[in-house]
Structures are given as structure tokens and as C-alpha cells.
């Protein structure tokens, strides 16, 4: 299985004791189908993982963009924004993911 894209997001609000992590992995399996694994939960724990498969690359990209847009609404929903911790992927994949969505996130600072 090839992991072609990895995105890790994190939302922290110490006042509310809120520390969440959200990971997205895009890849292709042995049968050349596209898959997206979404893992979410409290930071430092294993979290919950869900896998969705797609026949077409564009469907997988649309799914990822929808999940990223949903994370942008987190200040209204949970009281703190998600920030990008890491973004790693092949150049061709990074060029096709919606840059307008990614540019709206801030980067995690340590």
C-alpha cells in the first residue's frame, strides 16, 4: 500500500481541557483502488480510524477536501481552531488538493 498524502491537524484549548488530533492518509492499495484513512480522537491516544475506498482519484480528493473544510468550522463547534501539524505528500498530490482550503489553516507552532 502506498501512502501518497499524510495530513495531521491538532486543536488545543487548555481552558476547556480540549486536545484533539485529526489525521488523513491517502493511498492506493494492492488492487490500485484509492483509499482514505481518517483517524481522530484525543491527542496521545490511538483514536478512532475509518477507511473509505474510491475507484477514482477525484472522488478521494473531494472527500479529503470536504473533511478539511469541516475542520475549518471547528472554532464555532468546539471553541478552538485546528492547525496543521504536518503535511506530507507527493508533489502531484499536493498540487491537486484544494490549496484554498489548506491556506486557511495556520501552522502548529511548538
Tally: H helices and E strands in the chain: 4, 6
pLDDT of 12 reads 93
Read off the pTM.
Answer: 0.86
- Domain count for the chain: 1
Q: Transcribe 47-67 into DSSP letters.
A: -EEEEEEESSHHHHHHHHHHH
**pLDDT under 70 in the chain at which residues?**
1, 92, 94-96, 98, 108-110
Its domain, for residue 14, covers: 2-107
What CATH number did the domain enclosing 61 receive? 2.20.140.10
What pLDDT sits at residue 50? 97
What is d(CA 64, CA 70) in angstroms, rounded to the nearest whole number?
10
Cβ burial, residue 46 (10 Å; 0-12/13-18/19+): exposed
Amino acid at each position: 500500500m502506498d501512502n501518497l498524502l499524510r495530513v495531521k491537524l491538532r486543536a488545543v484549548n487548555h481552558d476547556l481541557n480540549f486536545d484533539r488530533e485529526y489525521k488523513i492518509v491517502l493511498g492506493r492499495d494492492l488492487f490500485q483502488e484509492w483509499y482514505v484513512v481518517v483517524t481522530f480522537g484525543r491527542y496521545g491516544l490511538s483514536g478512532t480510524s475509518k477507511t473509505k475506498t474510491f475507484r477514482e482519484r477525484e472522488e478521494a480528493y473531494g472527500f479529503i477536501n470536504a473533511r478539511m473544510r469541516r475542520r475549518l468550522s471547528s472554532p464555532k463547534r468546539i471553541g478552538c481552531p485546528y492547525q496543521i501539524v504536518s503535511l506530507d505528500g507527493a508533489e502531484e498530490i499536493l498540487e491537486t488538493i484544494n490549496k484554498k482550503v489548506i491556506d486557511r489553516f495556520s501552522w502548529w507552532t511548538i
